[in-house]
Amino acid sequence: MILDVRGLQPPQPAVMMVEALAKLEAGKTLEVIGDKPFVDMIGKLEEAGYRIELKEIGGAFVLRITKTENSRELTMELKECDDRLEEITEETNVAQLLKAYPESLKILVKYGFSPLENPEMRRTLSKTITLRDAKRLLGMSDERFKKMMEELKGLEKA
């Protein structure tokens, strides 16, 4: 299977990869063609048991992802009892944040994470990333990220 994500804005390439990998059978390979070297995804894919090969070909990057018998889905399990988080940090999973504080969606969208407005993206992407990952995917400045974190932490006090 081939997936061309050139020209797409983050986090769309990551979402498309996660969705394609969920449909991939063990032993099969997904080739993803992109403008950037997929640095945010490689570690997660390897950790989840996928075989990875990255090449640069003619100015594009080709990431070959082979699903093995031991590959796990790229999602994070959420405990059903998690109605409130202990604390909102950079390592907070976005899906867990949205579950504990549904009003955090408006803040995340305000700071550029507009794909979360789409319910399908919310279901798939939010489970696989932390707030720090979202910052990287969006190319958000440290200052802007700090402001967003302050707003999110304000939800803890409400």
Tell me the pLDDT tens digit for each residue of 1-46.
999 999 887 777 888 898 899 899 999 999 999 988 887 788 889 8
Q: Note if the pTM is more than 0.85.
A: no
Residue extents of the structural domains in the chain: 2-66, 94-157
Give the fold, CATH level 3, of 2-66: Translation Initiation Factor IF3 (3.30.110)
CA distance linking residue 125 with residue 95, whole number of Å: 8
Give how far the C-alpha of residue 22 lies from the chain's centroid of Cα atoms, to the nearest Å: 14
Annotate 102-121 with b (16+ C-beta within 10 A) or e (fewer).
eebbebbeebbbebbeeeeb
Say which residue the tokens 């997929």 belong to: 38
pLDDT digits (tens, 9 = 90+) for 101-151: 889 999 999 998 888 888 777 777 777 788 998 888 888 999 999 999 999
Mean pLDDT of 69-91: 67
